[in-house]
Amino acid sequence: MNLPHIDFSVITPELIVIATALVVMLAEFVGAHATPSPTRSHRIALIALLGLVLAALAAVAGLGRAATDIQGMLVADDLGRYLELVVLLAAALGLLLAWDYLPQFTKMHSEYYALYLLAVVGMMFMGKSTELITLFVSLEILSVALYVLTGFHRGQLAAGEAALKYFLLGAFSSAFFIYGAALLYGDTGSTHLVDIAARASGGFLTLAGLALLLVGFGFKLAVVPFHMWTPDVYQGAPTPVTAFMSVGTKAAAFVALFRVLQAAGVSYATWSLVLALLATLTMTWGNLAALRQSSLKRMLAYSSIAHAGYMLIGVTAGMQLGLSAVLFYLFAYAFMNIGAFAVVSLLERPGYHATQDATIDAARGLFARKPLLAVVMAIFLLSLAGVPPLAGFFGKLYLFNAAVQSGWIWLAIVGMINSVVSAYYYLRVTVLMFMTEADETSFLRSPLSNATGLAIAVAMVGTLLLGIFAGPWLQQLGQAALAFAGS
């Protein structure tokens, strides 16, 4: 029997994260009689963080190298490496948030970090897979890990509700995904994207398969007709998990979507119109619903739906321009969104059995109490709204530019109108922070710990730097996109 040759360098970052997850899982047994305590939790978190950093270094080291693959199932190209960087960045920031957040409500630290790292692995594999079964299994790895992480706050009713909703709808969407994969297999006799691209009949069967796959992706991306779970899940999940999954899942699903669409075997004109309609719906609905929210997390959840809509504009714009714009936006979104969630996590009241949700009123008079924090939060929110010269502005600029250049002018206009609408709810919070007095509804968890501070600082610096060095960075990403579109 000949075992297949496997080039392990293709998955070095993933292997590092898997090894870290296993170490973290077993860390519980080191010092057998030690009781779980915050310091112990910090030690475990430190190991996990080191693993993430090492994996990121491995991914960076690979940048620019030629694409290699394992049996045509997992591919290491620059697109995949940038995706890994986004996911690892989001994971590291989310981990820093969890540093002090986690010991507030649970003793199961190694389980949390192990699941967290495995979710990261799932996302990384998902963005690298070029075969439908591999894609599906990695999608399930990240989904199952996130279901559990969502419900990790066992004392809180909302967390249980969120986990259940996420699980049921997620399982439902997986069924759509696998059905679509089955139809594509029936059409082409292969699950490899390359073969599908070559052999797809382009007829009704291909269309039906692709449409079902799109539904599966739509659930994970929180695209509008399939977004129902998002507000409840983002609100119920522990804030560090929300911050991480709002970025990581989107990043992995968008990259995988690009890979699938490239191999679709259906003409660009066919699928781009569907995506344009989805993008319009998603942006508009997300922004309109966010206007009426009183909970900060829920507001950010709807805002993340709207942002998925913006990124869909990039997907509509096609492989080359759109892809680099979406990649850029993912980086920008990782910084600004997790930064915003980091500040939100400080506004939540920790409790014995439940962590109270942060309402918009909790931010009242934040400037008077913590001027620096208020300024930072304002910057994150302005960046999310797309105010120059922050990262979010350039992200949107590139997305709309890509749309205009590929002929989707009306889509770009809809996107701009939506940005204006979204400015209302971001600015409302800013106004509350700066122009009102603190009263009994306002709250701030204190003192600000080093880890959370570090996370906020990194996010801050990232948001600013991406804004300043937007051009060169986009060029870098553009090369990856070019390599991918050309392949």
Stretch that binds other proteins, among 128-136, 341-349, 374-382, 466-474 (CB under 8 A): 128-136
Longest Cα separation, the chain: 75
Integer Cα distance of 466 and 395 in angstroms: 9
Report DSSP letters for 406-434, one per residue.
Answer: TT-HHHHHHHHHHHHHHHHHHHHHHHHHH
The answer to the question of residue 6 lying near other proteins (CB under 8 A) is yes
The answer to the question of residue 151 lying near other proteins (CB under 8 A) is yes
- Judged by CB under 8 A, the number of residues near other proteins is 55
Stretch that binds other proteins, among 112-120, 231-239, 411-419, 433-441 (CB under 8 A): 112-120
The answer to the question of residue 154 lying near other proteins (CB under 8 A) is yes
**Which residues have CB under 8 Å from 320's CB, separation 6+?**
478, 481, 482, 485
- Residue (111 or 361) nearer to other proteins, CB: 111
The answer to the question of residue 463 lying near other proteins (CB under 8 A) is no
Tell me phi and psi for residue 448, to 5 degrees. Answer: -70, 120
Which residue of 96, 115, 237, 382 would you call a contact of other proteins, by CB under 8 A? 115
- Residue (11 or 481) nearer to other proteins, CB: 11
The answer to the question of residue 183 lying near other proteins (CB under 8 A) is yes
Stretch that binds other proteins, among 89-97, 148-156, 277-285, 462-470 (CB under 8 A): 148-156
The answer to the question of residue 125 lying near other proteins (CB under 8 A) is yes
The answer to the question of residue 147 lying near other proteins (CB under 8 A) is yes
User: Per the structure block, which two tokens stand in for 43?
Assistant: 């030690």
| Nearest distance, CB of residue 19 and other proteins, angstroms | 12
Q: Please, what is the end-to-end C-alpha distance for the chain in angstroms? A: 33
| Nearest distance, CB of residue 116 and other proteins, angstroms | 10
The answer to the question of residue 164 lying near other proteins (CB under 8 A) is no
The answer to the question of residue 111 lying near other proteins (CB under 8 A) is yes
The answer to the question of residue 194 lying near other proteins (CB under 8 A) is no
Which residue of 82, 99, 101, 105 would you call a contact of other proteins, by CB under 8 A? 105
Stretch that binds other proteins, among 65-73, 405-413, 453-461, 476-484 (CB under 8 A): 65-73
Which DSSP symbol is given to 28?
G
Which residue of 56, 144, 317, 451 would you call a contact of other proteins, by CB under 8 A? 144
The answer to the question of residue 253 lying near other proteins (CB under 8 A) is no
Integer Cα distance of 89 and 82 in angstroms: 10
Question: Which residues 16-45 are close enough to bind other proteins by CB under 8 A?
Answer: 18, 25, 36-37
The answer to the question of residue 186 lying near other proteins (CB under 8 A) is yes
Q: Is 353 exposed, middle or buried (0-12, 13-18, 19+ CB in 10 A)?
A: exposed
Helices (H), 189-238: 193-199, 204-221, 229-236
The answer to the question of residue 118 lying near other proteins (CB under 8 A) is yes
Which residue of 49, 92, 148, 381 would you call a contact of other proteins, by CB under 8 A? 148
| Look-up of token digits 């400015």 | 423
From the list 230, 9, 15, 238, the residue with the least C-alpha distance to 124 is: 15
Helices (H), 356-408: 366-369, 371-385, 391-405
Stretch that binds other proteins, among 51-59, 203-211, 338-346, 356-364 (CB under 8 A): 203-211
| Nearest distance, CB of residue 426 and other proteins, angstroms | 34
The answer to the question of residue 87 lying near other proteins (CB under 8 A) is no
| Nearest distance, CB of residue 181 and other proteins, angstroms | 12
Pairing between β-strand 68-70 and β-strand 74-76 as defined by DSSP bridges: antiparallel
User: Per the structure block, which two tokens stand in for 129?
Assistant: 């897979």
Q: Is 99 exposed, middle or buried (0-12, 13-18, 19+ CB in 10 A)?
A: buried
Please, are residues 161 and 102 in contact by the beta-carbon 8 Å criterion?
Answer: no
Report DSSP letters for 99-123, one per residue.
Answer: HHHGGGT-S-HHHHHHHHHHHHHHH
- Residue (134 or 293) nearer to other proteins, CB: 134
Residue 352 corresponds to which amino acid? Y
**Which residues have CB under 8 Å from 94's CB, separation 6+?**
116, 240, 241, 243, 244, 248, 338
Stretch that binds other proteins, among 68-76, 321-329, 398-406, 410-418 (CB under 8 A): 68-76
Which residue of 97, 123, 145, 245 would you call a contact of other proteins, by CB under 8 A? 145
Left if phi > 0, otherwise alpha if psi is -120 to 50, otherwise beta: which for 358? Answer: beta
From the list 462, 461, 455, the residue with the least C-alpha distance to 343 is: 455
Q: Which residues bind other proteins (CB under 8 A)?
A: 1-4, 6, 18, 25, 36-37, 70-71, 73-74, 103-108, 111-112, 114-115, 118-119, 121-122, 125, 131, 133-134, 137-138, 140-141, 144-145, 147-148, 151-152, 154-155, 183, 186-187, 189, 201, 203-205, 207-208, 352-353
